[in-house]
Structure formats: C-alpha cells, structure tokens
C-alpha cells in the first residue's frame, strides 16, 4: 500500500528514514514529502494545501494510508476533513499529534504554534466535524513521556484505537520498532 508520512514542525521527510525503510521492506511504498516552510510560518492550512498538491502530483491512483507525526498529524487531519482526503485514505496513523492542542504551543511564536494551542480556531473547526473521520480506520500512538504534546492525552482522537509507546521523548517515537511493527500489522490485518 502507498503510505504518506507527514513530518512535524522544524522537520523534513528525512525524520521518517527508519520507519519508511521498515515499511518499504514490508512491501509498502512510502512517500515522505518536505512541507515548507517547516516552521509553519504560514500556518497549518497552508501546509495541508501543499500536502494535497504533493499527493495529487506524486501518488498513483487508488487508496493509501496517511501517517502524521506531531504537527504533521494536524496537517493530515485538515487534508482529510477539508481537502478531500477521505475519498482515498483508508488508514490514518496519528503519531504524537496535538489533536486537542498542546501547552508547549503557548510558548512558541508563529502561526503554526497559534494553530496548535488549546482552543485555537484551527482545532475548534476540525473538531466541529470530527465525525467525518468515522469512515476510516484511525490509530493513535503516544508516549506518556512526551514533553512537546502536553498533556500526552491530547493526542487521543474519539473513535481511534489508542496505543501507548514508551518512547523516552517526543521525537524518539519515530525510532520505536514497536510503532513500525504495529503499523505494518494493522495494514496487514485490515487488508486480509
């Protein structure tokens, strides 16, 4: 299956090297776009539109899976709920994403940080039609030791399967083989 891996703030697609390598070996085709500006200076809607353009110009026709890490999970949700992504996406893997906001965003400057704050207009609008996501399989992964998504429970999405991964830090989530294995097993299990 085609899988699009969406990075978070101040990152690039390279942050998924290990995960993409593992999933490619499992027979999937991973795509790791670099969404710029990576600091989200133009906000998350801008990055979601760039994600849509990347997907339409790069992926083959047919269904695919979407995995968003951190800010990338909110970008992915906007793509799903507002930019037509639900027409093709079968699975959404929400990895340490501040779905209800994060305390850390209240001390960061910039438009992306404002979008990720508790009660932001961006999050309120996405949560207003959260029921749209019920048509796809969603799995949430989070670490209780997260120092960027505070509290870590903010990653939970109603209707998703919630998995704890005991990564020592936020970015270490993308180095956890247990995460890779669970994603691969989910794709295998659901496609049989």
- At 115, which CATH number? 3.40.50.1820
Q: 192: how many CB neighbours lie within 10 A of its CB?
A: 5
Question: CA distances (Å), 102 to each of 20, 97, 111, 127, 146, in order?
Answer: 27, 9, 14, 15, 11
- Checking if the pLDDT of 67 tops 70, the result is yes
- Checking if the pLDDT of 6 tops 60, the result is yes
Which pLDDT tens digit goes with each residue over 83-114? 999 999 999 999 999 999 999 999 988 999 99
pTM for the whole structure? 0.96
Domain around 16: 2-185
Q: Give per-residue burial for 83-108: e unless 16+ CB within 10 Å, then b.
A: bebbebbbbbbbbbbbbbbbebbeeb
Which pLDDT tens digit goes with each residue over 126-142? 999 999 999 999 999 99
φ, ψ at 167 (rounded to 5°): -80, 140
Q: Mean pLDDT over all residues of the chain?
A: 96
CB of 141 closer than 8 Å to CB of 95: yes
- Checking if the pLDDT of 192 tops 60, the result is no
Q: Is 140 helix (H, G, I), strand (E, B) or coil?
A: strand
Residue 50 lies in a domain: yes
Residue 52 lies in a domain: yes
Residue 178 lies in a domain: yes
Residue 168 lies in a domain: yes
How many structural domains comprise the chain?
1
pLDDT of 190: 67
Q: Is 115 helix (H, G, I), strand (E, B) or coil?
A: helix
Mean pLDDT of 131-154: 96
Residue 191 lies in a domain: no
Mean pLDDT of 52-70: 98
Residue 54 lies in a domain: yes
Which pLDDT tens digit goes with each residue over 27-46? 999 999 999 999 999 999 99
Residue 15 lies in a domain: yes
Residue 83 lies in a domain: yes
């Amino acid at each position: 299956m085609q899988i699009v891996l969406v990075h978070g703030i101040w990152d690039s697609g390279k942050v998924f090297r290990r995960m993409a390598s593992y999933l490619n070996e499992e027979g999937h085709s991973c795509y790791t776009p670099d969404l710029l500006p990576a600091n989200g200076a133009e906000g998350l809607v801008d990055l979601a539109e760039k994600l849509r353009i990347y997907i339409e110009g790069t992926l083959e026709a047919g269904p695919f899976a979407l995995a968003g890490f951190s800010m990338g999970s909110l970008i992915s949700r906007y793509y799903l709920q507002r930019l037509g992504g639900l027409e093709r996406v079968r699975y959404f893997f929400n990895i340490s994403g501040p779905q209800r906001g994060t305390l850390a965003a209240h001390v960061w400057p910039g438009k992306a940080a404002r979008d990720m704050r508790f009660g932001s207009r961006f999050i309120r609008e996405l949560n207003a039609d959260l029921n749209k996501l019920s048509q796809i399989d969603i799995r949430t992964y989070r670490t209780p030791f997260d120092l960027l998504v505070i509290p870590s429970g903010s990653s939970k999405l109603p209707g998703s399967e919630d998995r704890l991964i005991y990564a020592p830090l936020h970015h270490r989530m993308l180095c956890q083989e247990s995460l890779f294995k669970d994603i691969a097993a989910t794709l295998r299990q659901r496609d049989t």
